[in-house]
Structure 1
Amino acid sequence: MHQLDPLDKKLLQIIQDDFPLVSEPFTEIGARVGLSAEETLARLKKLKQKGILRHFGASINSRKLGFVTTLCAVSAPAEKEEAIAKQIAIRPEVTHCYLRKHKFNIWFTLVAKDWPAVEKILEEIAKETGLRPRHFPARKMFKLRAVFHIADN
């Protein structure tokens, strides 16, 4: 586990929960914690390099734009599961991909323009991997707001 100094904690809290929508956001963020925009960006880049900051960007509500999403799974041989998971994860329609301790050991989420497109993508994955993906469309979504409170308050 990485130790974060108080400034890094504050920066991570701001970019998760209170990112300023202004023309110079890193100047604004830096001013809140006593850093320049350059110092702020340098710290965030280091956190990204360390793997602490995994993703930095907007999360689009694809359903509001008319896309469909579904949870998918395949059962892969243990000796090939990592390679197959990487093969699936590089597809642009896949937003998340996980290895699980389960009969279906690779789980992934898929976003597509419609249900026929989902079926086509799953057929392509089947041809590429030799496995038969299954998908589990949601009946109702319960969206959680994932903010990790790490700043010293």
Structure 2
Amino acid sequence: MDILDKSLLNLLQTDFPLAAEPFRAVAEKLGISENEVLSRIFRLKEKGVIRRIGAVLDSGKLGFVSRLCAARVPEDRIARFVDRVNALPGVTHNYGRNHPCNIWFTLIAPSEEELERTIEGISRDTGVREILTFRAVRTFKIDAKFLFDDALSENSASPSGKREEGPDAKF
């Protein structure tokens, strides 16, 4: 990755424009063409650096409920269980863990009742009976950004060309 890729990644994570033509706006901020932005994004997606570009919405503010779920899945059922869980539109994360509850995932649903029905369906379809659900009591961190300091330090500016100020500024 070159300095422009890093600046592009920083910009996509921190200052994605809400515009009719967002990639053109990104291109203008970086001083390159829209085609160059799209080409770089496509290449970074092919390499697995970018998984997705999309909005991150606060499901609770939209009236949805969410739970962290932990399941004790026998080794011979893991693939089937994971496939079933990953097929659900309300699953945002699904990870294996070295723990008695060896599969952990987050589930979002329109209501408590729908969430319970979904968990019951997973259990019924996979034969996994132990699926625990945990409500969030307090949110500590909701997102992660992977910023490239060297992309910023070359110009002592953010990818948008504006100098950052304040206690959290990165240069």
CA distance in structure 2 between the partners assigned to 1:112 and 1:128 by the alignment: 18
The 5 A counterparts of 1:11-90 are 11-90=8-87
TM-score normalised by structure 1 residue count: 0.90
Partner of 1:111: 108
Task: Could you tell me which runs of 5 or more consecutive residues in structure 1 were left unpaired when the two chains were aligned.
Answer: none
Q: Which residue number corresponds to residue 96 of structure 1? A: 93
Secondary structure of the residue aligned to 2:119 is helix
Tell whether the 8 Å contact from 1:70 to 1:111 is kept in structure 2 after alignment.
yes
- Distance in 2 (alpha carbons) for counterparts of 1:60 and 1:94: 14
In the TM superposition, residue 106 of structure 1 has moved relative to its aligned partner by 0.7
> Is the 1:93–1:111 Cα contact (8 Å) retained in structure 2?
yes
Picking from 129, 136, 139, the partner of 1:138 is: 136
Q: Structure 2 regions of 5+ residues with no counterpart? A: 154-171
Give the root-mean-square deviation of aligned CA atoms. 1.5
Q: In the alignment, which of 125, 130, 135 is matched to residue 128 of structure 1?
A: 125
Q: Which has the larger radius of gyration?
A: 2
Q: 35-44 vs 78-87, which deviates more? A: 78-87
* Paired amino acid for 1:66: G
Q: What amino acid sits opposite 1:149 in the alignment? A: L
1:149 aligns with 2:143: no
Amino acid across the alignment from 2:147: H
